[in-house]
Amino acid sequence: MVLAVFAGLPGVGKSTLAAAVAAELPAAVLAVDTVDFTLQRYGIPGWPRTRSRR
């Protein structure tokens, strides 16, 4: 099993790259907002994430 994570600034093509990779591999594309919502909804320990400000 492989987990590929694409990160970067808005508008650089992360979603386009993820879709292209998913088309070549037997893979699904998951949006981080969907994952965050699901973890919060089902009370997964450590969620919601806390963001520290410095």
pLDDT in tens, 13-38: 999 999 999 999 988 898 888 888 88
Please compute the mean of the pLDDT values over residues 3-16 and round it to a whole number: 91
Q: Which amino acid is at 40?
A: Q
- Average model confidence (pLDDT) for the chain? 83
Q: Give pLDDT, residue 43.
A: 83
9: pLDDT strictly greater than 80: yes
How far is Cα 30 from Cα 19, in angstroms, rounded to an integer?
A: 10
Query: What's the whole-number mean pLDDT along residues 6-11?
Result: 91
End-to-end CA separation in angstroms for the chain: 36
pLDDT band at 3 (very low <50, low <70, confident <90, very high): confident
